[in-house]
Structure 1
């Protein structure tokens, strides 16, 4: 995943990059996020905890 040729400086937080779907760099940041997430899922590195499964 290459982040070359971005039109804006790198955001401090990923959520900032993903909150504006009309931003020209949105697709690049979304692809980066999905690649990282899918890699973590394929390595079985974490378990998703649903709110309804907690006793909080």
Structure 2
């Protein structure tokens, strides 16, 4: 259920800076919640989206 909370945060509070990878990351996360993709793929997509706009992920 932590993943569902994370998706909620991402969709309710859109970051100030986003790029094309942000929407892709949201789709990947939704697919992971539906069991169509691995959660590992969703994390990788969000890390790529963050890097695209100069944000660091720890």
Normalised to the residue count of structure 1, the TM-score between the two structures is: 0.34
Higher relative CO (Cα under 8 Å, sequence separation at least 6) belongs to: 2
Q: Which has the larger radius of gyration?
A: 1
Greater share of helix residues, 1 or 2?
2
